[in-house]
Amino acid sequence: MKIVVRLFLLAAAVALGWWLWTACFPSPEKVVLKRLQSLAGLLTFKSDISNIGRASRASDFIGFFSVDTEVVVDVPELGVHTLTGRDEVREAANGGFATLPSLAVTFLDATARIGPDKQTAEVSCTLRATVGNEKDFGVQEMRFKLKKIEGTWQITRAETVKTLR
Residue 40's closest CA among 61, 63, 55, 54?
A: 61
How many Å apart are CA 47 and CA 45, to the nearest integer?
7
- Residue 85 is assigned to a structural domain of this protein: yes
How many Å apart are CA 112 and CA 84, to the nearest integer?
23
Surface-to-core class of residue 155, CB atoms within 10 Å of its CB (0-12 exposed, 13-18 middle, 19+ buried) = buried
How many angstroms separate the Cα of 82 from the Cα of each of 69, 93, 158?
Answer: 11, 14, 10
How many Å apart are CA 75 and CA 89, to the nearest integer?
16
Q: Which domain holds residue 38?
A: 27-160
- Residue 5 is assigned to a structural domain of this protein: no
CATH of the domain at 98: 3.10.450.50
- Residue 89 is assigned to a structural domain of this protein: yes
- Residue 130 is assigned to a structural domain of this protein: yes
Tens-of-pLDDT digits for all 165 residues of the chain? 888 888 888 888 888 888 888 788 888 999 999 999 999 999 998 888 888 888 888 889 999 999 999 999 887 777 888 999 999 999 988 888 888 898 999 999 999 999 999 999 999 999 999 988 887 888 889 999 999 999 999 999 999 988 765
- Residue 2 is assigned to a structural domain of this protein: no
The pLDDT value recorded for residue 4 is 86
